[in-house]
Amino acid sequence: MLSKKKINKIKLLNNKKNFRLDKFIELALFSSNGYYLRKKPVGRKFDFVTSPEISQMFGEIIGVYLLYHWKEKINSRFNLIELGPGNGTLFKDIERTAQIIPSFFENANVNLIEINKELRKIQEKNLKYFKQSKIRWSKALNFKSKLPSIIYSNEFFDCFPVRQFLYNDNHWFEKYVKYNEKENKYYSINKRVISKKILNILSKHIKQKIYEVSYSRNKYFDKICKHLKKNRGICILIDYGYNEKIKNFTLQAIYNHKKTSIFENVTQQDISSHVNFDELIEIAKQNKLKINEFVSQRDFLIKYGILERKKELLSKKSNLKKNLIDEEVDRLINVDRMGKLFKCLVVSSL
């Protein structure tokens, strides 16, 4: 638990009696002392091990997919944008794969979108041998050029704050967060929803009795879709999430590899939620984009050749390494591990 002084310092209280759940999450993750602005969260030692960190094959398959799309549909100067590159591992694997078509990077304006200063430093260090074009880093996504874009991300869209609504005794309530100064503790309260606009949206979710939504995530994705529609291009995103109505809220906190409450270790732990892919697909359709793929991570990786690549790598390795490669691929595609929960959505104007 943080000291009162520290909590005041991070201005989480904001002099308000209570604040909306998404505002609390935003402060816990993205305020100047928030989890994402100071922690180095990606890698085996840290809170998550993401797919690119598990195996080079993940980035190679994405790389081949991007290369094919560029060659077939763009084949000219373009923006290559990665959202939330973590340690830069996915970028490195894509770069290595792209060496089979040198004109890919010769034509790329590379832009890495990273909010975390520490991670940016790690990316700069890990990518210092990348000479094929200049990398531009940005904290936020700002489309400056009218060139076609290839945008990709892994475990980025789960970072956005959510709002939670629940239905009880014929009324909808929204979760807010309160702080008890005496006990130095956060806890949630339910406030009755009175906004007609929100009640209208919620009326579609009465059967499930809950609704979890990230308006900031949806808005971010809408911005990408609008850009693609206007300037052409493709967006490929991989994240854990769902495409059916959910029965339970998905918001979760992880501290030292263990699930905790979102009110513990505030600003020290990751808070994330499963991505509602139905809503993202709807946004893409509203923007008149094509849905090229919406499949599980397992299906995507198998469709684009991970088993063939595994076979090739196995043929060159010692028995010890072979077991390791088997384990890595299993972790990525086994339906009881990352294979089913993680999904791949590809939308494009092309």
Ligand X SMILES: C[S@@+](CC[C@H](N)C(=O)[O-])C[C@H]1O[C@@H](n2cnc3c(N)ncnc32)[C@H](O)[C@@H]1O
Binding site for ligand X (CB under 6 A): 36, 42, 48, 50, 52-53, 84-86, 90, 113-116, 119, 154-156, 159
In the complex with ligand X, the residue whose CB is nearer, 21 or 112, is: 112
Q: Which residue has the tokens 């591992």?
A: 89
In the complex with ligand X, the residue whose CB is nearer, 52 or 148, is: 52
- Which amino acid appears at position 169 of this protein? D
Two structure tokens written together for 76:
């000219």
User: In angstroms, rounded to a whole number, what is the distance separating the alpha carbons of residues 162 and 159?
Assistant: 9
Residue 256 phi/psi, 5-degree rounding, is 50, 50
Task: Report, in Å, the least distance between residue 320 CB and ligand X.
Answer: 25
In the complex with ligand X, the residue whose CB is nearer, 190 or 260, is: 260
In the complex with ligand X, the residue whose CB is nearer, 137 or 187, is: 137
Question: Could you give the angle at the alpha carbon of 65 between the alpha carbons of 59 and 70, nearest 5°?
Answer: 120
Task: Report, in Å, the least distance between residue 42 CB and ligand X.
Answer: 5
Q: Which residue has the tokens 């009755």?
A: 192
Task: Report, in Å, the least distance between residue 103 CB and ligand X.
Answer: 26
Q: Where are the alpha helices (DSSP H) in 191-314?
A: 196-202, 215-231, 277-286, 297-303, 306-314
Q: Please provide the size of the chain in residues.
A: 350
In the complex with ligand X, the residue whose CB is nearer, 157 or 211, is: 157
CB 65 within 8 Å of CB 236: yes
Task: Report, in Å, the least distance between residue 159 CB and ligand X.
Answer: 4
CB 157 within 8 Å of CB 281: no
Comparing every residue's Cβ against ligand X, the nearest one is 84
Task: Report, in Å, the least distance between residue 168 CB and ligand X.
Answer: 32
User: In angstroms, rounded to a whole number, what is the distance separating the alpha carbons of residues 278 and 280?
Assistant: 6
Task: Report, in Å, the least distance between residue 88 CB and ligand X.
Answer: 9
In the complex with ligand X, the residue whose CB is nearer, 90 or 284, is: 90
Task: Report, in Å, the least distance between residue 202 CB and ligand X.
Answer: 26
Two structure tokens written together for 119:
């991670």
Distance of CA 197 to the CA centre of its chain: 28
Q: Which residue has the tokens 């991505």?
A: 275
Two structure tokens written together for 113:
């979108």
In the complex with ligand X, the residue whose CB is nearer, 86 or 241, is: 86
